[in-house]
């Protein structure tokens, strides 16, 4: 997820590390804060792999700034990761939102449709946070616990909103992709 966010934001524009960290934190930080001890090793891995380049520019003060940009290989890698996401990237909400934030960079609308259809199929599977003794998912109405009932009610409303958006977007994209 972190590498995808780095590649995605640098696809948009070259950034220095501090600005990149701010943008990633704005996207995912409320759930998974981005520490410097995590971000900078990821940047170095991507740089070593030839996916990002670093250019030193004079800073506004005495210290120089390192501006990061995506290489052509980095652009290809981002599109590859977007077109073939792992199952966890489809099923984990935070990873999904990171993928969704950059899906526009996948220029092939047929590939975009395939990714959205994967998420749609996942959301249409019967699921719950809680199950009965036989392993069947429980619905909010079947729970006495008001807190668990609240979790399921909120999750259902969120899923319904996302399903409606997915179906409308797929209809729109599918018509253009042909």
Tell me what pLDDT residue 137 has. Answer: 85
Q: Are 89 and 112 in contact (CB under 8 A)?
A: no
Query: In a structure prediction context, what are the per-residue pLDDT tens digits for the chain, which is 178 residues long?
Result: 899 999 999 999 999 888 998 899 888 766 666 777 788 899 999 999 999 999 988 766 667 788 999 999 999 999 999 999 999 999 998 899 999 999 999 989 999 999 999 999 999 987 778 888 998 888 888 888 999 999 989 988 999 999 999 999 999 987 764 4
| Integer angstrom CA distances of residue 68 from 85, 89, 103 | 24, 25, 21
Tell me what pLDDT residue 169 has. Answer: 95
Return the structure tokens found at 83: 């077109």
Tell me what pLDDT residue 176 has. Answer: 61
Q: Which helix (H) or strand (E) holds 8?
A: helix 2-12
Tell me what pLDDT residue 136 has. Answer: 87
Beta strand 52-57 with 65-70: parallel, antiparallel or unpaired? antiparallel
The number of helix segments (H) and strand segments (E) in the chain equals: 8, 3
Task: Please tell me the distance from the alpha carbon of residue 133 to that of residue 31, in angstroms, as a whole number.
Answer: 32
CB burial readout 133-167, b (16+ within 10 A) else e: eeeeeeebeebeeeebbebbeeeeeeeeebeeebe
Q: What is the pTM of this model?
A: 0.84
């Amino acid at each position: 997820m972190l590498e995808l966010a780095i590649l995605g934001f640098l696809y948009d524009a070259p950034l220095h590390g501090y600005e990149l960290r701010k943008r990633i934190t704005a996207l995912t930080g409320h759930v998974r804060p981005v520490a410097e001890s995590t971000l900078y090793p990821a940047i170095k891995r991507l740089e070593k792999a030839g996916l990002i380049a670093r250019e030193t520019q004079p800073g506004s003060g005495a210290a120089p700034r390192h501006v990061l940009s995506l290489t052509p290989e980095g652009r290809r890698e981002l599109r590859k990761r977007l077109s073939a996401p792992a199952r966890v990237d489809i099923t984990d909400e935070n990873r999904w939102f990171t993928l969704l934030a950059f899906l526009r960079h996948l220029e092939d609308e047929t590939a975009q449709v395939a990714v959205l259809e994967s998420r749609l199929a996942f959301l249409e599977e019967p699921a719950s946070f809680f199950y009965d003794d036989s392993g069947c998912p429980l619905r909010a109405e079947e729970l006495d616990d008001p807190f668990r009932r609240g979790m399921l009610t909120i999750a259902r409303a969120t899923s319904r909103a996302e399903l409606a958006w997915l179906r409308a977007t797929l209809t729109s994209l599918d018509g253009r992709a042909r």
